[in-house]
Structures are given as structure tokens and as C-alpha cells.
């Protein structure tokens, strides 16, 4: 992975079996020193986890730390102290990771269904942006063949799947804390992967860090149709379908909003695949996967699920204009360039004509004209 520089990296282990109580005398296995960031295996581990983050099946929610002190726990304050150190020392990094492990233990001990695993911590720079990443990796038992050609038990890490993870963008964290209250509603510096639902097998991981889903739904609503269109236009074979897929995404957002449902990237995956139906599966599948990863990336930051913002949705589906003396706001589907359109735009003369006005609208206009003595 190009442009990735590891500042710090360490691995601890949370010792907890599913459906069993903690052995409180041995709650975790902690390292006292960092891993060698020049070691090829260590580099491969970090690059693998970073690459998985936001990929298909590992999509992220975006948000911030919880604001209420009783709900957020100690980690947000500890991270803020760590963030303020321009050049963090190894001891600062290790101490922070150990505090997080301690908080994970306190969060998990009340959940019998929770399970532990290896926790990878890394402070790294990618494409010029500094990040702090925490990821849980599970281990599985397997079988290998020894040099004596005998079967042996082995343990390997599930490096194709992130069970739980959280990532903090240092640059956006700084921006957020410089922003006013209005700007903060559209900023999120923290993202996290939390695949479990209901009686979460590892919800304690997210709770321990004090993560909270963001409220930046306006940006996600606004960006989603346009970013899907942008992706289609970037690929020659998809370009002719760019406008159609954008309109389909807007229709989806309208439907979900009307049914009081949130928007989900898994649904956008299906819509996009439908508009790639003309492609062979071996070409379509990688493009759909690439689109999902693009939408959920740090660059675009569309969450795996978000509440649809009405104001942003109206701007997507409506033509809105406001001048000093008049304004209009109407559905784009009503607009046309032929005289039989409900709203006819005459490009040659720059005129807009409303046809077949509803009775109520006609009455209001007539009443206004009568008040002005322009109509009997």
C-alpha cells in the first residue's frame, strides 16, 4: 500500500470467551513495547487492516465521540491529550492503548455473550493524513501439515474480515474542534465498523471508545446521488447510464424518506448493480465492489446507513430559486422543453410557463389580481 507510514503499532489481547464470564485474574494480555514497524510481517498486518477498512463487508459508520461525560467514558479525553502532542512518543501511544484495553474490559464484563480477540492499535499516516486505528481481529483454529507430513493444529488470524474497528482522522478532529455548532453538524472525524445487531457480540468495543453515530445526514443525502453519478461517468462503459442511476438513487431516497426509513449502502449496491446489468458478472462484480468502497471511503464518507435529510433531498429533486421579488420551488420531473410540459422552459426567450395550474392555485392568482384591480 503506497504512501503509508507507520508511526506506532502494537497488539494486545482481550481474554474473553463467548458466553463465559471473564477470568478477572487474567483479563487481558498486554505488550509493554511497540512492534517493530520496519518488520515486513508487521507492515503487512497494518497494511492489511487498513486496506480492509471500508471495503465490501467492512463498511463504516461515521460519527464523533459522545458528548455527555457519563456516556463517553475516559477515552475521548485521553485521546484529546494524545492528539495535542505534536510528535507522540512511544510511551504516550502505549499508555493510551493500555487505557483503551482497560476500558474494553469494563465495558465487556457485563456482557456474557461478548468475546475477546487480538486488538491491533496503530498510529499511521496515509496520503498525508494522520490516523489512529483500533481493530479487533479474531483467531481461528486450523490444521496444517508438518515437515514430517503429519497434521498439526495451528492458529491463524482472520485477516479478510474486521470484527470491530474504529478510526480517528486527526485533521478532521482538529477541524471539528475549531468549528461552530452549525458546522459541527456536517463534520465527522471518527468512523467505526460494528457489524453486530441486537444483542451485540462485541458492542462493548464501540461503547468502550465512546463512539457515537454522526448526525451529518445532510451531507450524505446530498453527496450520495452525485457521487454515484460521478463514479459511473468515470468508467467509459458506465458513462451512458450515469444520469439514469443518479435519478434512481434519488427516487430511492424519496421512497425511504416517505416510509420513514434510513438509507443503506446495501440498497445502493443493488440499485447500481441493476444499472450494470448489461455487463458480464466478472466485470460487474468488481465495479460494484469498487463503488461501495468509494462511497464509504475517507474521501467521500457516505456512512453504511444514514437518516435522510429533507432539505438536502428537496434540493436534489426540486428546482429552487429565490429572488428579491419572487421565488419558485418545484419537482424536476414537472420540467420540460416542450409546450405540453407541466412547467415549460423556453430556452430561446428565457421564459418559464406553468401549465394546467391546480384550481386552488388559479383561485389565489385571481384573488391577487382582483386586489390589484387588474381582474373583475
- CA-to-CA dists, residue 101 to 69, 74, 88, 368, angstroms: 19, 12, 19, 70
Instruction: Identify whether residues 196 and 261 lie together within a single domain.
Output: no
Same domain, 230 and 134: no
Cα atoms found within 13 Å of the Cα of residue 154, Cβ hemisphere only:
11
Q: With a cut of 70, which residues of the chain have pLDDT below it? A: 1-2, 16-25, 56, 86, 110-114, 141-144, 146, 149, 153-159, 195-203, 213-216
In this structure, is residue 346 part of a structural domain?
yes
pLDDT in tens, 286-321: 999 999 999 988 888 888 888 888 888 888 888 888
61 and 173 share a domain? yes
Provide the Cα torsion 336, 339, 342, 346; round to 10°: 50
Which DSSP state fits 180?
Answer: -
Q: Do 45 and 84 lie in a common domain? A: yes
Q: Which of 275, 292, 311 is the endpoint of a domain?
A: 311
* Inside any domain, residue 376: no
Residue among 10, 202, 225 nearest 120 (CA): 10
Same domain for 42 and 181, yes or no, is yes
273 within domain boundaries: yes
Residue 123 shares a structural domain with residue 195: yes
C-alpha neighbours within 13 Å on the C-beta side of residue 69: 1
pLDDT of residue 104: 86
Residue 287 in domain? yes
Interaxial angle between packed helices 242-258 and 310-317, expressed in degrees from 0 to 180 and rounded to the nearest 10: 140
Instruction: Please give the pLDDT value at position 85.
Output: 80
Give the residue from 161, 171, 70 showing the smallest Cα distance to 126: 171
Give me the domain span that covers residue 325.
Answer: 319-371
Confirm whether 256 is domain-assigned. yes
Could you tell me if residue 358 is inside a domain?
yes
Place of cell 467514558: 73
Taken in order 53, 54, 57, 58, is the CA torsion positive or negative?
A: positive
> Quick one: CA dihedral 54, 57, 58, 61, positive or negative?
positive
Q: Report the domain count for the chain.
A: 3
The confidence score (pLDDT) of residue 208 equals 82
d(CA 334, CA 352): 12
Indicate the residue among 213, 228, 255 that finishes a domain: 213
Q: Does residue 31 sit in the same domain as residue 66?
A: yes
Last residue of a domain, one of 158, 189, 213: 213
305 and 344 housed in the same domain: no
Identify whether residues 303 and 345 lie together within a single domain. Answer: no
**CB within 8 A of 39, min separation 6: which ones?**
none
Task: Kindly state whether residues 208 and 96 are assigned to the same domain.
Answer: yes
Bridge partners (DSSP) of residue 156 are 140
Strands 335-336 and 343-346: parallel
What's the grid cell of residue 31?
A: 505488550
Whether residue 201 sits in one domain with residue 137:
yes
pTM for this prediction: 0.73
* One domain, residues 152 and 10: yes
Amino acid at each position: 500500500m503506497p504512501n503509508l507510514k507507520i508511526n506506532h503499532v502494537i497488539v494486545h489481547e482481550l481474554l474473553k470467551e463467548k458466553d463465559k464470564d471473564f477470568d478477572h485474574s487474567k483479563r487481558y494480555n498486554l505488550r509493554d513495547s511497540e512492534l517493530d514497524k520496519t518488520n515486513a510481517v508487521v507492515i503487512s498486518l497494518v497494511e492489511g487492516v487498513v486496506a480492509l477498512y471500508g471495503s465490501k463487508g467492512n463498511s463504516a459508520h461515521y460519527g464523533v465521540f459522545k458528548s455527555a461525560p457519563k456516556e463517553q467514558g475516559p477515552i475521548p479525553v485521553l485521546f484529546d491529550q494524545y492528539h495535542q502532542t505534536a510528535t507522540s512518543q512511544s510511551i504516550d501511544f502505549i499508555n493510551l492503548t493500555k487505557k483503551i484495553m482497560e476500558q474494553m474490559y469494563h465495558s465487556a464484563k457485563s456482557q456474557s455473550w461478548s468475546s475477546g480477540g487480538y486488538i491491533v492499535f496503530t498510529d499511521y499516516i496515509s496520503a498525508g493524513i494522520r490516523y489512529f486505528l483500533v481493530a479487533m481481529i479474531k483467531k481461528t483454529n486450523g490444521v496444517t501439515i508438518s515437515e514430517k507430513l503429519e497434521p498439526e493444529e495451528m492458529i491463524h488470524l482472520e485477516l479478510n474480515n474486521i470484527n470491530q474497528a474504529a478510526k480517528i482522522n486527526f485533521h478532521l478532529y482538529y477541524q471539528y474542534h475549531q468549528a461552530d455548532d452549525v458546522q459541527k453538524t456536517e463534520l465527522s472525524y471518527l468512523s467505526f465498523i460494528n457489524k453486530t445487531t441486537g444483542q451485540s457480540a462485541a458492542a462493548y468495543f464501540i461503547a468502550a471508545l465512546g463512539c457515537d453515530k454522526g448526525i451529518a445526514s445532510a451531507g450524505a443525502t446530498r453527496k450520495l446521488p452525485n457521487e454515484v453519478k460521478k463514479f459511473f461517468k468515470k468508467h467509459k462503459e458506465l458513462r451512458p447510464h450515469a444520469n439514469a442511476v443518479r435519478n434512481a438513487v434519488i427516487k430511492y431516497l424519496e421512497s425511504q424518506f416517505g416510509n420513514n426509513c434510513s438509507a443503506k449502502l446495501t440498497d445502493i449496491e443493488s440499485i447500481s448493480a441493476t444499472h450494470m446489468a448489461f455487463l458480464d458478472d466478472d466485470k460487474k462484480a468488481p465495479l460494484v465492489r469498487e463503488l461501495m468502497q468509494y462511497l464509504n471511503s475517507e474521501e467521500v464518507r457516505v456512512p453504511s446507513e444514514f437518516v435522510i435529510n429533507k432539505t438536502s433531498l428537496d434540493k436534489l429533486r426540486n428546482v429552487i430559486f429565490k429572488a428579491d421579488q419572487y421565488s419558485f420551488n418545484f419537482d424536476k420531473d414537472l420540467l420540460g422543453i416542450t409546450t405540453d410540459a407541466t412547467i415549460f422552459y423556453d430556452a430561446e426567450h428565457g421564459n418559464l410557463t406553468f401549465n394546467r395550474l391546480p384550481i386552488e392555485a388559479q383561485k389565489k392568482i385571481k384573488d391577487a389580481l382582483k386586489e390589484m384591480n387588474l381582474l373583475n
